[in-house]
Chain A
């Protein structure tokens, strides 16, 4: 089966510019995640969708970050305006689980988008 697709793979922008990342999850996967991985740290959850609804966005800096998942499939993550500390790898992942009561199937990760803010 095809994996999680992300684009672009790399992006360099100046601070205060805006940027958008795209993610296409594995077909049929109801849950979609966006993670931020800063160099030397473990991935941190930014937002979790179930179908096209938000399950958890408690760690999303909502003053500058936004995300949407139209029709419960593809998703975009936007940063506007970017700051130097946003330099990181942005990982998208998906899992099959369609309802919260079904526990914990594994998540499949894309290769990520490496963002450098200068």
Chain B
């Protein structure tokens, strides 16, 4: 059965500095992986997805993630944080049958 571990429940960065949100997964098959963002009182929005094509995936708003099978990781990065990036981020794994399993989430705080 698939599972997701987000290694940090909270991350705090200064505006203009890099962002790193860490995610490890467990899957019996070749998974698809997603990052979603949730702003307060808003719905979940897809940032990017990996579906067995290029291992470096680019998403919206300057975010990207790299799939590393040997490390079972799918960390989310952004070179320079913006105040508007403050939100909760979820790493999601999906296997055959399209069942989506969410991690516990990482709250990103951006300081001015």
Contact = CB atoms under 8 A, between A and B. Distances in A.
Contacts of A91: 43-44
B44 A100 contact: no
Interface stretch (A61-69, A74-82, A106-114): A106-114
A24 interface: no
Contact of A100 (B49, B97, B105): B97
A40 to B, nearest CB: 8
Q: How large is the interface on A (under 10, 10 to 19, 20 to 34, 35 or more residues)?
A: 20 to 34
A112 B99 contact: no
A33 B100 CA distance: 9
Contacts of A48: 98-99
Interface in B92-112: 94-105
Contact of A104 (B42, B43, B98): B98
Given A103-B32, A106-B34, A45 B100 contact: yes
Nearest to A31: B98
Given A55-B97, A100-B97, A111-B43, A43 B49 contact: no
A56 B43 contact: no
B51 interface: yes
Given A97-B98, A106-B49, A41 B43 contact: no
A56 B103 CA distance: 19
A97 B105 CA distance: 25
For the complex of A and B, 9 pairs with smallest distance between CB atoms: A104-B32, A42-B102, A109-B44, A111-B43, A104-B94, A109-B43, A42-B104, A100-B97, A43-B102
